[in-house]
Structure 1
Amino acid sequence: MSLEIRIAASTDAEAACTVLRRSIKECCVLDHKNDPAILDAWLGNKTPQMVANWFSSPTNFSLVAVHDGVVVGVALLTGAGKLALCYLLPEAQGKGYGKALLRRMEEQACTWGVKALQLHSTASGKTFFAKRGYNDAGMVRSPYGVETVLFWKQLDEDATCPNAPKRKRFCNCNTA
């Protein structure tokens, strides 16, 4: 396995767009149920130009996973601590690529001083994020008509941020 996780460049936009579109169409059937209206809405902004814009935004941190020279995954973190994208090609799932992307995103969030990450997961991705310590905060409807799970994960107490200052516990009790 020759996996490389690297910062996404505008030249990766077309391949990353393919990852997004294939992943949504093929892996998220539980969510869109092959409804053309939902698919059109969900895929509407998944164009190479839009992805290139996301990659070039100074408030975003974008990564691609590359296996044997092929972009097989894409992830995007906003400066506000939202994991906005974390997608893999269908044939790349179950090989550790998603874990590697997520781990690197968590490390970047720690570098920025983000205390907790949040994301909206599809039904298809729910188990993946739950297994990685993300907490289910309930259902939220996406703008494109799919019910998503709002997940969050505290990072400052996690092994992902080993250099983060530990929070002091406040106790209002008497020690006498």
Structure 2
Amino acid sequence: MSLEIRIAAATDASAACNVLRRSIEECCVSDHRNDPAILGAWLGNKNPATVASWFASPTNFSLVAVERGEVVGVALLTGAGKLALCYLLPEALRHGVGKALLQRMEQQACSWGVKALQLHSTASGEAFFASQGYVQAGKVRSPYGVETIFFWKQLDAVAGEPDGKRKRFCNCNSNSA
């Protein structure tokens, strides 16, 4: 597999839009249940002009995964540390593409000083994000009518700690002024 992960350009918008639409339509059936109202709302802003505007926003960091000259994945990170997009073509699933995109997004978030990454996953993506160390923290209904799973992952692991967690020295709550 000759996978390239690179920064998304405006010229990638149409191909990225295809990835988004196919992924939602074909991979997220358990989420939208082929309900035309949900699909219409979910796909409503997945057009090349809107995707190009997301890529052009200075507060976003967008990547595409390219294999054999074809865009097979797209991901978008906001400056607030939210992974807003992470979608793959159905034929790119389970080939390491999602993991590669996610790792690169985590690197970018760390370079921005983001301490924890957050995202809303579909039920279809739940196992993937859990397998990448993301912690489930409840359910949230999306604006388009799909119940999503809120996930987060701590990114600022403490150097020298094998589990990446800070050691607590006491369980007290210090309220001193």
Does 2:64 align with 1:45? no
CA RMSD of aligned residues (A): 1.9
Scaled by the length of structure 1, what TM-score is found? 0.91
* Deviation per residue, 1:42-62 (Å, 9 max, x gap): 000000000000000000000
1:51-70 residue pairs with structure 2 within 5 A? 51-70=51-70
Gapped regions of structure 2 (runs ≥ 5): 160-164, 173-177
* Deviation, structure 1 residue 158: 7.5
Partner of 1:20: 20
Q: Residues 34 and 156 of structure 1: is their aligned pair in 2 closer, same or farther, counting only changes over 3 Å?
A: same
Partner of 1:96: 96
Q: Residues 81 and 170 of structure 1: is their aligned pair in 2 closer, same or farther, counting only changes over 3 Å?
A: farther
Give the 4+ runs in structure 1 shifted more than 6 A: none
Write the distance in 2 (CA, Å) between the matches of 1:76 and 1:158: 26
Gapped regions of structure 1 (runs ≥ 5): 160-165
Aligned-partner SS, 2:123: coil
* Deviation per residue, 1:98-129 (Å, 9 max, x gap): 00000000000000000000000000000000
Write the distance in 1 (CA, Å) between the matches of 2:4 and 2:151: 27
Scaled by the length of structure 2, what TM-score is found? 0.91
Partner of 2:2: 2
Partner of 1:79: 79
* Deviation, structure 1 residue 157: 1.2
Aligned-partner SS, 1:125: helix
Matching residue's letter, 2:13: A
Matching residue's letter, 2:97: Y
* Deviation per residue, 1:57-93 (Å, 9 max, x gap): 0000000000010000000000000000000000010
* Deviation, structure 1 residue 171: 3.7
